[in-house]
Structure 1
Amino acid sequence: MVLVIERPSVIARAHPLRPERADVALAAGEFGLTTAFFFTVFTLVRWGLGTAGADASGTEMWFRCAVVSMLVGMVIVGFVVSRPGRWTGAHMNPAITLALWVRGRTPARRVLPYLVAQVLGSVAAAAVARLVWGPAMADGPTRWAVVQPGLGLGGRGAVVALAEAAVLALIVGVMCWVQDRRPSWPLPWIVGLMFGLQGVLLGTFTGGSANPSRQLGPALFSGQTHLLAAYLLAPIAGGVLAAWAARRRPLTL
């Protein structure tokens, strides 16, 4: 889902729109990371939420969602600081890739290959999770680990979109500030914690996706495409807007 560090030697090169061989190789690595990451996320959903009984209380579901969300945040940290993550940048999130491009930290020629890799990674991860975990992955409360809004928000796409956009705007804003003003801070931990906390706060309310690819694969397999546009477009809008604002007027706090 994230982030953060591109090698200066790569960034310093020209930015033609046509991907180079190195960009294709990096995109292949991004596909592998995204697939592994989302398989882990879907597995956590399968066992953390999919095992809840039909009579589970709202409190129990919130607690389960909070545990899964914080584990996802820690998984993000692990992927980002891993050797493959340091190589590709471990974006694993189209909103992050586009925000880093707007920010000037990802070459334009690498954007499309990364987006394709992230989309295909989501679909592949959902398929592998179904193969590994069987019908339980697709049935019952798991439903391919698709993100859904809480009760009463089914028809309020604007609320879901606003929450998704605000989350990415905040995360990208903090990310840009740390890169500019506190480069010695452990940015992977900060970003991972923020993604985890947004799931704790919003998971049982809007679904707490915060990643277009997170929703795409499960939505396609489950047929749950209601509010899909909000989950796909709002995080991108929020992240890009925050990156654009940070580039025009860097924060000086």
Structure 2
Amino acid sequence: MKTLITSLTNEKVKYWRKLHKKKGRKENKVFLVEGLHLIEEAWNSKQVIIEIIAEETVELPRWSGNIPVERVSKQVFEHISQTMTPQGIAAVVQIQPQREMKGNQFVLLDAIQDPGNLGTIIRTADAAGMDAVILGKGTVDIFNDKVVRATQGSLFHIPIYEADLVHKVDELQKGGFDIWATALEKADYYHEVEVPDKVAIILGNEGAGVHPDLIELADKRIKIPIYGKAESLNVSIAAGILMYHIKQ
């Protein structure tokens, strides 16, 4: 039986702490997942779980028999945890290589910086049956712990890619896609635009919106009507409205 890890200066503990940073995740090609629900989502989605980290009193899931387990003290787990109320169980999960992108309905995200917004958009894209989410430059890291939690496991269900959106828009247009960009000026209301067979929606930064260069490249500029006095919609809410619209 492995020795219980109780020291905050243990090399394994230092390694797990490195995974809090994008650099550490990128170098090691793994990320941390906390909580039984998300770990089980990873397992059910055939993700590669490198190891499970659990407090000594936490019961392990029945399916975890062949996965290496590191038992740690409560103090150590709290040291590596990034949640306010840790559940005492986490896992190191392998980052999957990007595969060829397939499908007819995509969401392109331009510099979405709030982890909660990104996670919610991914979760909604999964629920709406979108084929992929594409993250442009300036977008928060998909493996940021707050993003992972906000997806509620959907990051394991829907393909997620990173790309230069200018190049990706050109590539998609050559493949017969209509590109819709959300904009305030010279834009049509989304429900008045015919939905084509192949469509990709660009949503932009919470404060600045979609970059003007991407708006210029788009085939259609669309907007959502505001019936009340709010100045604008949260980007994740706007994403949900538009994704479900193109699925009708």
Q: TM-score, normalised by structure 2?
A: 0.24
Q: Which has the higher helix share?
A: 1
Higher relative contact order, structure no. (Cα contacts within 8 Å, ≥ 6 residues apart): 1
Q: Which has the higher strand share?
A: 2
Q: TM-score, normalised by structure 1?
A: 0.24
